[in-house]
């Protein structure tokens, strides 16, 4: 079988006419057979290099785990865009991951598509869009767009085809799995199952829990973590991080049989970081497992599943600058192997006759049908781009911008930031707030129509948490008073975007 050279950014186009067609992986029982013969690019350096110790990743100080140079998009790909307006700070390169064999290297923070988007405001003017809604969905990184564009000409079916394009696409899809595994710091034997998003991933795991499993979950969680479970114990929002650990300890101690603790790594409402290493320790002490919702964490901080001793993590591509409809569930294989296939159909079975023999490998078992290959390639490209840039640089820039935003909000009379654990608790680039005299929808509409600013308003799929933070006992879907405004930042956010929001809010509160 000829070697298929796979690139995670912009590959050269294959030349099937100069090579014999590879043999297909017709059994579909071992997907690694379709992967390239050389080690995956994402595994050329250990995923643990430079990793933080368990628990320390909550501080935002962890460093890049790999040092593979970032590949720039090839010139001539008009789909990727060439505007540098989204770079933050403007024009810049930053000190990032160390290259192999040397000291620090300058790594540009990659640009996002849409950085030069113009939007209409009242009076008929066009202004540059200030996107402060990254926590809902982040814009696409240019290297992600380039990777998808490069994969399209040879796109074909995966795992079943004998043709060169099918074999190449299969190899790219399985390479994406390796890349995402390394990005998350997963154990070598962890399953990496591509899903649609985090909600899809948590529902998949919910269907694989052993019979009688009790789930312990805080009322601070996103609905994706709050709702999928057949049997659950819900805990009140803790007053401080230590209380979260104590409450989980007590709840798990009182449960017999299989148990699962479900917790976010970073709140989608307040951005506050949760003590996931300590919670994992408590869970394991009681014979429980832990699932971490990392959807709002991985765009902002390096994740190391192994160092944190997590059993399962889930996150979404569309939060991670890869909005092509893919997410992932990563974790221990046994529950996933024993659980019912998430979807039943082609690819999930070994054979069908009078009886059906399902795959016992959880990856094909739970990825029936034609998977979202381009979504997986996009997700892997985002993982590579962030790692190549270097987490030290990304975290430093985000913390600078979020400090600017929060100090500005605190100085505006009538604006109230929402927080569970106080102003000094570490957080990612998410801030939710209310404005006296206005509903959240009114604030969001004014910011959009008059200033060209995009924020999120509502309950952020976290109704119980919003009710707690706002002191509302009901706060149903139609209750505008039980809502807030959320501003969230990421790659492409600039000082000017933050300052425009602050100016708009100052004008609004003095009307």
Cα 417 from Cα 409, distance rounded (Å): 7
Q: Is the bond preceding 89 in cis, omega lying within 30 degrees of 0?
A: yes
Residue 95 has pLDDT above 50, yes or no: no
Residue 478 has pLDDT above 90, yes or no: no
Residues 6 or more apart whose CB falls under 8 angstroms from that of 101 comprise: none
Judged on CB neighbours under 10 Å (0-12, 13-18, 19+), 218 is buried
Q: What is the pLDDT of residue 160?
A: 85
What average pLDDT does range 6-27 have in this prediction? 38
Residue 48 has pLDDT above 90, yes or no: no
Q: Residues spanned by CATH 3.90.1150.10 within the chain?
A: 393-509
Q: CA distances (Å), 119 to each of 4, 124, 133, 324, 451, in order?
A: 44, 10, 15, 23, 9
Backbone angles phi, psi at 400, to 5 degrees: -65, -45
Which of the two residues, 279 and 346, has the higher pLDDT score?
Answer: 279
Residue 417 has pLDDT above 70, yes or no: yes
Q: How far is CA 135 from the centre of its chain?
A: 10
Cα 261 from Cα 499, distance rounded (Å): 40
Cα 97 from Cα 491, distance rounded (Å): 17
- Give kind and range of the element (H or E) at residue 378: helix 373-389
Pick from 58-72, 91-105, 153-167, 336-350 the range whose average pLDDT is largest.
153-167
| Percent residues over pLDDT 90 in the chain | 70
- Contact (CB, 8 A) for 34 and 172: no
What average pLDDT does range 192-214 have in this prediction? 97
What average pLDDT does range 350-366 have in this prediction? 87
Rg (CA), the chain: 23
Tokens linked to 94: 């930053």
Which residues does the annotation mark as catalytic?
A: 461
Q: What is the pLDDT of residue 476?
A: 55
Q: What is the pLDDT of residue 59?
A: 39
Q: What is the pLDDT of residue 282?
A: 98
Domain 393-509 has CATH 3.90.1150.10: yes
> Assign residue 377 a region: left if phi > 0, alpha if psi is -120 to 50, beta otherwise?
alpha
- Give kind and range of the element (H or E) at residue 462: none
Q: What is the pLDDT of residue 480?
A: 62
Tokens linked to 251: 């709840």
- Contact (CB, 8 A) for 154 and 167: no
Residue 488 has pLDDT above 90, yes or no: yes
- Give kind and range of the element (H or E) at residue 216: strand 214-218
Q: Residues spanned by CATH 3.40.640.10 within the chain?
A: 168-386
> Under DSSP, is residue 343 helix (H, G, I), strand (E, B) or coil?
coil
Residue 54 has pLDDT above 50, yes or no: no
- Helical segments of 122-231, H only: 142-151, 164-183, 198-206, 223-226
- Helical segments of 186-289, H only: 198-206, 223-226, 241-253, 276-285
Residues 6 or more apart whose CB falls under 8 angstroms from that of 347 comprise: 28, 159, 160, 364, 367, 368, 369, 370, 371
Residue 271 has pLDDT above 50, yes or no: yes
Q: What is the pLDDT of residue 406?
A: 98
Q: What is the pLDDT of residue 472?
A: 72
Residues 6 or more apart whose CB falls under 8 angstroms from that of 261 comprise: 215, 216, 217, 248, 252, 279, 282, 283, 288, 289, 290, 291
What average pLDDT does range 305-317 have in this prediction? 98
Cα 169 from Cα 174, distance rounded (Å): 9
| Pick from 15-19, 424-428, 465-469: least confident | 15-19
Neighbouring C-beta atoms of residue 72, cutoff 10 Å: 14
| Pick from 113-122, 213-222, 344-353: least confident | 344-353
Tokens linked to 332: 């221990």
Q: Are strands 259-264 and 232-235 parallel, antiparallel or unpaired?
A: unpaired
Cα 20 from Cα 1, distance rounded (Å): 8
What average pLDDT does range 216-230 have in this prediction? 96
Residue 62 has pLDDT above 70, yes or no: no
Task: Quote the mean pLDDT of the chain.
Answer: 83
pLDDT band at 71, cuts 50/70/90?
very low
Architecture of domain 168-386: 3-Layer(aba) Sandwich (3.40)
Q: What is the pLDDT of residue 74?
A: 29
């Amino acid at each position: 079988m000829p070697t298929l050279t796979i690139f995670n950014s912009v590959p050269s186009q294959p030349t099937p006419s100069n090579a014999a067609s590879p043999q297909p992986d017709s059994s579909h029982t071992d997907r690694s057979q379709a992967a390239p013969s050389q080690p995956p690019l994402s595994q050329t350096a250990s995923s643990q290099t430079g990793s933080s110790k368990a628990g320390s990743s909550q501080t935002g100080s962890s460093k890049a785990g790999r040092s593979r140079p970032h590949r720039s998009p090839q010139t001539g790909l008009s789909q990727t865009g060439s505007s540098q307006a989204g770079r933050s700070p403007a024009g810049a390169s930053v000190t990032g991951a160390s290259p192999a064999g040397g000291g620090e290297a300058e790594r540009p923070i990659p640009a996002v598509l849409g950085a030069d988007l113009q939007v209409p405001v009242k009076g008929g003017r066009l202004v540059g869009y200030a996107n402060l809604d990254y926590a809902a969905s982040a814009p696409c990184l240019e290297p992600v767009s380039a990777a998808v564009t490069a994969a399209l000409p040879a796109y074909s079916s995966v795992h079943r085809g004998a043709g060169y394009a099918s074999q190449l696409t299969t190899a790219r899809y399985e390479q994406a799995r390796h890349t995402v595994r390394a990005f998350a710091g997963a154990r070598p034997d962890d399953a990496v199952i591509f899903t649609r998003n985090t909600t899809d991933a948590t529902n998949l795991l919910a269907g694989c829990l052993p019979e009688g499993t009790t789930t312990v979950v805080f009322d601070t969680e996103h609905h994706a973590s709050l709702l999928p479970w057949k049997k659950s114990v819900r805990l009140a929002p803790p007053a401080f991080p230590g209380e979260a650990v104590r409450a989980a300890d007590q709840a798990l101690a009182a449960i017999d049989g299989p148990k699962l603790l479900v917790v976010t790594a970073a709140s989608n409402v307040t951005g506050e970081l949760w003590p996931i290493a300590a919670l994992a320790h408590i869970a394991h002490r009681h014979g429980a497992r832990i699932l971490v919702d990392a959807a709002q964490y991985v765009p902002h901080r390096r994740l190391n599943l192994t160092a944190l001793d997590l059993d399962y993590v889930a996150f979404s591509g569309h939060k991670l600058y890869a909005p092509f409809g893919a997410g992932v569930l990563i974790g221990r294989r046994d529950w996933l192997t024993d659980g019912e296939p998430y979807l039943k159909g082609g690819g999930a079975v070994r054979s069908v006759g009078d009886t059906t023999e399902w795959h016992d490998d959880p990856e094909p078992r739970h990825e029936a049908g034609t998977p979202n290959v381009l979504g997986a390639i996009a997700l892997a490209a985002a993982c590579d781009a962030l790692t190549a840039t270097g987490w030290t640089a990304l975290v430093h820039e985000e913390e600078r911008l979020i400090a600017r935003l929060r100090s500005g909000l605190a100085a505006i009379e009538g604006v109230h930031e929402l927080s569970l654990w106080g102003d000094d608790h570490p957080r990612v680039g998410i801030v939710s707030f209310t404005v006296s005299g206005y509903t959240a929808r009114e604030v969001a509409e004014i910011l959009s129509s008059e200033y060209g600013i995009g924020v999120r308003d509502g309950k952020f799929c976290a109704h119980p948490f919003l009710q707690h933070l706002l002191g509302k006992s009901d706060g149903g879907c139609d209750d505008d008073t039980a809502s807030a405004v959320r501003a969230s930042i990421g790659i492409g956010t600039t000082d000017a975007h933050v300052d425009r929001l602050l100016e708009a809010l100052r004008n609004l509160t003095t009307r």
